[in-house]
Amino acid sequence: MAYSAKLTINCNQDCTYCYEAVSRQENRHVGRQPGNEVDKLIQAVKDIDMTYAPNLHGGEPLLLPKKQIEKVLSEFYDMFSKKIIERKGKLDPDETVTSIQTNGSLIDDDHIEMFLKYKTAVGISIDGHEELNDGRWMGNVEKTRKNTAKIIRNIQKLKERGVPTSIIAVVNKHNGTKERIPKLKEFLLMMKNIGIINGRLNMIELDFPELADQLQIPMEEEIHFYQEMAPFLMENDLYYAPFIDVVDSLLGFGYRTCVTTQCDPYHTLGERPIYGDGTVGNCLRTSKDGTVFLAEKNGNADRVSNERYSILRQIPMSEGGCGGCKYWSICNAHCPGSAEDGDWRNKSQHCESLYALYETTERAYKKMMPNLRLTTEKHNLSDNEMFNRINNGTASDLVFSRMFEQTNDRGGRRGAY
């Protein structure tokens, strides 16, 4: 179970596609404590048995006073560095302990000193340079472009100071159309040149149908995006999800992120925010009407339901379900927060483009290693057995044992010599 620390859901940007926008309108001050105090959040983290430190998230977490940000990072560092030492026997010099997701516009030298002191990995939410980032609106084009340039300078400063940094971009009409893909590639290579080679390229999840024409990429262009970017990332040694997620699950090494892990929208074990008053909620991606659903601090497996997945698996693809889909074991209808028509009971609105990504990746690996038998092929396992094997990262032997069997059948030798 993964947790995030949401000290505020307010933000200094007005991203028109933000999945928290409705919740922000309805519950702007959810969980906020007088004076932005963080003691209740810290105590809640101490009370929950978790392996890794919660990711500082928002809204924009750097809107909080620096004193409170440092207090959270300091407490998390003390708690979770000890846990790392208990597990591994030591804390490596370059190992991260804490993390934060930020739009990067408010970062200054004081923040960077905190990130270095508390071994904080920084995720930057930015969709590219110049016009690619216009979806992250600041009131007008001039202010938006100026803010984007500032964020990129801050990214460069983070890398110059040695802070582990990654990128999360939302793919939309500003950066993901056929005309804009070349410039997005340019941006990713620019990031690579300063030392950033990983992150996420998340297809837009739009909760406002009236903005679809402005922001949503048509399905044929979504498909083109995945098919165009998959070989580009591979050829340039760039490790962005969902592309690496697909590879890992095809090869049986597990699901990296929560979107393919059969999430119950009312008991979101893959993501649980802890608010400033110590309450624990469910992922806001599933809150389409702005309601902030609360959850048990330590979860309750007995209350988690997989009805979305059991039902979709029985409905044929031709009728809007997932029945008969070759890629069920690695997709699982994808995140309920991105379901068609905003209804968690449906499969993902990105079904067609994701299918194209899975198919493109599968063909590439089969061409390179014909003797692989990927997790999507028959292994005489039930859907649940395969899901559990992949989810636990123990399905790789199903894939690679086939290579050894074929080699031995031909009279070849296993091993390198």
* Inside any domain, residue 353: no
CB atoms within 10 A of CB 185: 17
- How far, CA to CA in Å, does 241 sit from each of 77, 176, 259, 391? 27, 15, 11, 17
Answer whether 158's CB lies under 8 Å from 112's CB: yes
Query: Of 284, 257, 249, 291, whose CA–CA distance to 268 is shortest?
Result: 284
Residue type, 191: M
Domain that holds residue 149: 3-217+261-297
pLDDT at 403: 65
CATH (domain of 211)? 3.20.20.70
Q: What are phi and psi of 231, to 5 degrees?
A: -70, -30
On whether residue 95 sits in a domain, the answer given is: yes
User: What pLDDT sits at residue 103?
Assistant: 97
Q: Would you say residue 204 lies in a domain?
A: yes
Please report whether residue 16 resides in a domain: yes
Greatest extent of the chain over all pairs of C-alpha atoms, in Å = 73
Residue 274 tokens, joined: 């802890």
Split into its structural domains, the chain has a count of: 1
The number of C-alpha atoms within 13 Å of 252 and in the hemisphere containing its C-beta is 19
Q: What is the reported pLDDT for 296?
A: 72
In a structure prediction context, what are the per-residue pLDDT tens digits for the chain, which is 417 residues long? Answer: 789 999 888 999 988 888 888 888 877 778 778 778 899 999 999 999 899 999 999 899 999 999 999 999 999 999 999 999 999 999 998 899 999 999 999 999 999 999 999 999 999 999 999 999 999 999 999 999 999 999 999 999 999 999 999 999 999 999 999 999 999 999 999 999 999 999 999 999 888 788 888 899 999 999 999 999 999 999 999 999 999 999 999 999 998 889 999 999 888 888 899 999 999 988 988 888 877 777 876 666 667 889 999 999 999 999 999 999 999 999 999 999 999 998 999 999 999 999 999 999 999 999 988 888 999 998 889 988 999 999 999 999 999 886 666 555 444 444 443
Residue 31's pLDDT is 77
In a domain, 195, yes or no: yes
Residue 242, pLDDT score: 96
pLDDT at 288: 81
Is 243 a domain residue? no
pLDDT of residue 221: 97
296, 49 contact by CB (below 8 A): no
Examine residue 182 and state whether it is found in any structural domain, yes or no.
yes
The answer as to whether 383 is a domain residue is no
Between CA 66 and CA 212, with CA 137 as vertex, the angle to 5 degrees is 130
Residue type for position 83 = K
